[in-house]
Amino acid sequence: MRRGFATLAGLALLAAACGGDGGGGTPTIKMGWGVPAEEIKYVMMATPQVAPNLGKCYKVDWQQFAGTAPGVQGLAAGTLDGATVGGLSVANGLDKGADIVITGEFIEERRSHFSTAYMVPESIASPADLRGKTLSTVAAGASTDYIQNHYLKARAGLEPGKDYKKVEVPFGQVVEGIQAGRFVFGTFPQPFYSQLTAAGGYRPLFRVVDVIDPFVQLLQGFRGEYVKDNPEAVKCFMDDFAAVSRYVADPANRDAVVAASSKATKIPADVLEKFLLTKDDFYRPAGGTISVAAVQKQWDFFHEQGAFSKSLKVRDHLVNVSITDGTRG
């Protein structure tokens, strides 16, 4: 279904006309979240008073998921109202007919900030040296998996299964696995990148931005029907999303953000202190705004790689958003 833009004011008027949640009290948003890099949600969970509308015009039932794909599946199935979604995972959901709208952005990768690194031992001089070796990927069909396949084929003509073996290894095991020699190539976002580089002996062979720059990693999505039925709750949540994004960006709040992130992710605060909200961290757009051009560029890339069948337009799936190209949704 093609979906146009709804302004914040328009949603408020619609809420008034529809009675918001239908007169049944403050609506609850069943909200999916995950690890890492969702500091906006971590702060909302740890210090809800930073979100002025929380508990007043909406409540949140927080539900943790291991990755963005299960969040997209929850939105498609109607078991979630909102969730953190990846650029590729939401495109896959839309391609299959899910009614999902995008309302905000958490992080993206840019050359001015940290970009996920594909790490190898220092003895590996070029992509060609990976021929005949065992490489790891976080998950077959993930965005980082498509990027590594594309890069290795473009630079060295290498294809998985033919020229090298590929195994799936979750982020939590990637440092230990490469150090133990079970594979010679892995995907390393923060904090795993800092952990491996501190040990020495490894280097980036390439980064995500060497294929797509900028690259939007995490977005906020909602089930389209929930937005239609609860426009005021969605407006209030996204107002808070923007407010908490600004709170996270304020250096005066860094200690509180680190503490909230550590509580949610179980990553020690002293590890987060080394990179969180520095130039060694991901880029976080002001106010949680969406870089529409960047998302469109990567959707076009993944479509060309065969990740999904339809040619999708980002603007058809935005609602209640502020975007970075000067147009307000």
Residue 171 confidence (pLDDT): 87
Residue 5 confidence (pLDDT): 34
Per-residue pLDDT of the chain (329 residues; tens, 9 = 90+): 333 333 333 444 334 333 344 445 899 999 999 988 999 999 999 999 999 999 999 999 999 988 888 999 999 999 999 999 999 999 999 999 999 999 999 999 999 999 999 999 999 999 999 999 999 999 888 899 999 999 999 999 999 999 999 999 988 899 999 999 999 999 999 989 999 999 999 999 999 999 999 999 999 999 999 999 999 999 999 999 999 999 999 999 999 999 999 999 999 999 999 999 999 999 999 999 999 999 999 999 999 999 999 999 999 999 855 444 433 33
Q: Which of 133, 216, 134, 137 is nearest to 174 (CA)?
A: 137
Residue 320 confidence (pLDDT): 59
Write the CATH number for 180: 3.40.190.10
Q: Does 235 share its domain with 94?
A: yes
Query: What are the φ/ψ torsions at residue 119 (nearest 5 degrees)?
Result: -95, 145
Q: Does 88 share its domain with 222?
A: yes
CA distance 111 to 125: 22
Domain's final residue, options 210, 236, 265: 210
Residue 263 confidence (pLDDT): 96
Q: Which residue has the tokens 């590929």?
A: 166
Q: Does 251 share its domain with 103?
A: yes
Residue 139 confidence (pLDDT): 87
CB 89 within 8 A of CB 70: no
On whether residue 171 sits in a domain, the answer given is yes
Residue 65's SS3 state is coil
Domain's final residue, options 166, 188, 210: 210
Q: Does 248 share its domain with 268?
A: yes
Residue 321 confidence (pLDDT): 52
Determine the residue type at 308: F
**First and final CA of the chain: distance in angstroms?**
18
CA distance 101 to 103: 7
Domain that holds residue 43: 8-110+214-317
Residue 67 confidence (pLDDT): 80
Residue 24 confidence (pLDDT): 58
On whether residue 324 sits in a domain, the answer given is no
Q: Does 298 share its domain with 163?
A: no
Is the link from the previous residue into 191 a cis peptide, with omega within 30 of 0?
Answer: yes
Q: Which of 9, 2, 1, 93 is nearest to 329 (CA)?
A: 9
What is the total count of domains within the chain? 2
Residue 255 confidence (pLDDT): 98
Residue 319 confidence (pLDDT): 84
